[in-house]
Amino acid sequence: MAATASPVAPVPVKGGVAPLRAGQGYSFWLRRLHSLTGIVPVGAFLFEHILISNASAIGGPIAYARQVRFLASLPLVPILELFGIWLPILFHALYGFYIWYRGETNVGEYPWTGNWMYAAQRWTGGIAFAYILWHTWTMRFTGIDLHEFPGASFGKVQSEVFQTPLFLFYVVGLIAASWHFAYGIWLFCAKWGIVSGEQARKRFLILCLAFFFVLTGVGLASLTSFRSHALQPTDSAGASMVEAGPGTTN
In a domain, 121, yes or no: yes
Candidate from 24-28, 53-57, 156-160 with smallest mean pLDDT = 24-28
Number of structural domains the chain divides into:
1
In angstroms, the CA 80 to CA 88 distance is 11
In a domain, 116, yes or no: yes
In a domain, 137, yes or no: yes
The separation between CA 77 and the C-alpha centre of its own chain, rounded to angstroms, equals: 21
152 phi/psi in degrees, rounded to 5: -90, 0
> Span 103-107, mean pLDDT?
63
Q: Which of 207, 181, 217, 192 is nearest to 41 (CA)?
A: 181
In a domain, 61, yes or no: yes
pLDDT bracket for residue 108 (50, 70, 90):
low
In a domain, 120, yes or no: yes
In a domain, 18, yes or no: no
Give me the pLDDT at residue 173, please.
97
Report the CATH number at residue 121: 1.20.1300.10
Q: pLDDT tens for residues 157-167?
A: 999 999 999 99
pTM equals 0.84
Give me the pLDDT at residue 109, please.
56
Question: Domain limits at 127?
Answer: 27-244
pLDDT bracket for residue 220 (50, 70, 90):
very high
Assess contact for 232 and 241: CB atoms under 8 A.
Answer: no
In a domain, 12, yes or no: no
In a domain, 119, yes or no: yes
Mean pLDDT in the chain?
Answer: 86
pLDDT bracket for residue 14 (50, 70, 90):
very low
HSE-up of residue 117 (Cα within 13 Å, Cβ side):
13
Q: Does 4 have pLDDT greater than 60? A: no
Assess contact for 225 and 61: CB atoms under 8 A.
Answer: no
